Amino acid sequence: MKHVKTVRQAKSEHVNPIERREAPRIPTSFGLMYSGLDENEVLMGDGTVVNLSKGGLGIRWNHPVKAGMNLTLFLYLPDGDDPLFVLEAHVAWTKGRQFGVEFKKLSLREGHRLHAFLFEQHRQ
């Protein structure tokens, strides 16, 4: 009788160790303004949102920021309404002329508005 050794491989999922996003980002393009403090100096800039999710967004900027900074954001959604206001967003990364932020403080109203916008984008 021949004994055959079988090797069971654990089920593996492809996980990018650098990818920490909890929700997929959708590509988009609309304007925003941002402000924060950089070594006790007020920083103000504007740019373009290049991708968006319920937890954060990617930005192409005109004024550099540093990873770890907290910013206030005004997102000019293409719906034509007043800007969506994000009280606090944390700069998670920077690379070249882009950076990514994670939303930290968003009012319930603004959160609902963001979710409605994302829902509409997924339907298209």
63-82 pLDDT, tens digit per residue, is: 999 999 999 999 999 988 89
pLDDT of residue 18: 45
* Mean pLDDT, all residues of the chain: 84
CA distances from 96 to 4, 48, 67, 81, 100 (A): 55, 14, 12, 31, 11
| Domains detected in the chain | 26-123 (2.40.10.220)
Q: How far apart are CA 66 and CA 68, in angstroms?
A: 6
Average pLDDT over residues 18-43: 83
Q: How far apart are CA 72 and CA 18, in angstroms?
A: 25
Query: Please, which pLDDT band fits residue 8 given cuts at 50, 70 and 90?
Result: very low
Q: How far apart are CA 42 and CA 81, in angstroms?
A: 27
Q: Which residue has the higher pLDDT, 39 or 93?
A: 93
